[in-house]
A and B are shown apart, each in its own frame.
Chain A
Amino acid sequence: MKKVSKLTMVGLVSLSVIATGCSSGTSSDANSNGGNAAKGSEKGVKLSLLSWNNEKEMKPVMDGFMAQNPNVSFDFQTAPPVKDYIAKLQTMLLSDSATDLFIIAAENRNEVIDGGYALDLTNQPFVQTMLDGNKPMLSKNGKVYAFTQTGWVGGLFYNKALFKKAGIEQEPQTWNEFIEACKKLKAAGIIPFYDNMQDVTMMHDGLFANLTLSGDPNFDEKIFKGEKTFEQGWTEPLKAFKTGLLDNKILTADMIGLTGDQIVNEFALGNVAMFTGGPWSINTIQQANPNLAYSMMAIPGPKPGGNYYAGAPGVGFAVNSKTKRKDEALKFIEYLASPEGLKKFEEGTGAIITAKGYESKVHPSIEKAYKEGLLQGKFYLPMVSWSRNQEALRNQLTISTQDMVVGKITPEDAAKSLDKKMKEMDKK
Chain B
Amino acid sequence: MVKFMRQFQYQVFLIPILFFYTLFTIYPLIKSFLLSLTNFNGYTKVYNFVGFKNYTKIFFDDAIVSGLSYTLFYAIATTVIITLLAIPLALILDQNFLSKNVYRAIFFFPSIPSGLLLAYIWGFILAPISSGVLNKVLKTLFHLGPQPWLSDPLLAKLSTVVVSVWAGTGWHAVLYLAFLQSIPKDYFEAASIDGASKWQQIRHITLPLLAPAMTVSVMLLLTGGLKVFEIPFALTKGGPGFETYTITQVIVLRGISETNYGLASAMSIIFFLIVLVLTYFQVMWMQKREDKIQ
Contact = CB atoms under 8 A, between A and B. Distances in A.
Interface string A385-422: 00001011001000110110110100000000000000
Interface in B249-294: 249, 251-253, 256-260, 262-263, 268, 271-272, 275-276, 279-280, 283-284, 287
Contact of B29 (A13, A18, A198, A395): A18
A94 B262 CA distance: 15
A258 B128 contact: yes
Contact of A256 (B21, B29, B151): B151
Interface in A65-107: 83, 86-87, 90, 93-94
A30 interface: no
B279 A408 contact: no
Contacts of B256: 25, 83, 86-87, 90
Residues of A in contact with B, size category = 35 or more
Interface string B21-48: 1001110110010000001011111000
Interface of B: 21, 24-26, 28-29, 32, 39, 41-45, 123-124, 126-131, 146-153, 156, 219, 223, 226-227, 229-230, 236-237, 239-242, 248-249, 251-253, 256-260, 262-263, 268, 271-272, 275-276, 279-280, 283-284, 287
A22 B226 CA distance: 11
Contact of B239 (A24, A87, A392, A402): A402
Contacts of A13: 219, 223, 279
A376 interface: no
A392 B123 contact: no
Contacts of B240: 253, 256, 402-403, 405-406
Contacts of B45: 94
B131 A271 contact: yes
A187 interface: no
Which of A10, A198, A392 has the largest count of B CB atoms less than 10 A from its CB? Answer: A10
Contacts of B241: 399-400, 402-403, 406, 408
Given A21-B229, A83-B256, A9 B123 contact: no
Interface stretch (A109-117, A171-179, A218-226): A109-117
Contact of A254 (B25, B148, B219, B268): B148
Given A13-B219, A257-B151, A403-B240, A94 B287 contact: no
A286 B257 CA distance: 33
B247 to A, nearest CB: 8
B262 A428 contact: yes
A257 B148 contact: yes
A7 interface: yes
Contact of B128 (A24, A25, A257): A257
Interface of A: 6-7, 9-22, 24-25, 83, 86-87, 90, 93-94, 111-112, 114-115, 117, 198, 253-259, 262, 266, 269, 271, 389, 391-392, 395, 399-400, 402-403, 405-406, 408, 425, 428
Given A257-B127, A402-B239, A15 B153 contact: no
A198 B276 contact: no
Contacts of B131: 266, 269, 271
A215 B150 CA distance: 39
B51 to A, nearest CB: 14
A125 to B, nearest CB: 30
A406 B242 CA distance: 12
Contacts of B24: 19
A399 B242 contact: yes
Which of B147, B248, B262, B268 has the largest count of A CB atoms less than 10 A from its CB? Answer: B248
A391 B242 CA distance: 16
Contacts of B219: 13
A17 B227 contact: yes
A110 to B, nearest CB: 9
Contacts of B150: 256-257
A2 B272 CA distance: 23
Nearest to A86: B256
A10 B276 contact: yes
Contacts of A17: 223, 226-227, 272, 275, 279
Given A7-B280, A18-B275, A253-B240, A24 B148 contact: no
Contacts of B237: 198
Contacts of A402: 239-241
B123 to A, nearest CB: 7
Contacts of B153: 406
Contacts of B39: 428
Contacts of A20: 227
A380 B63 CA distance: 29
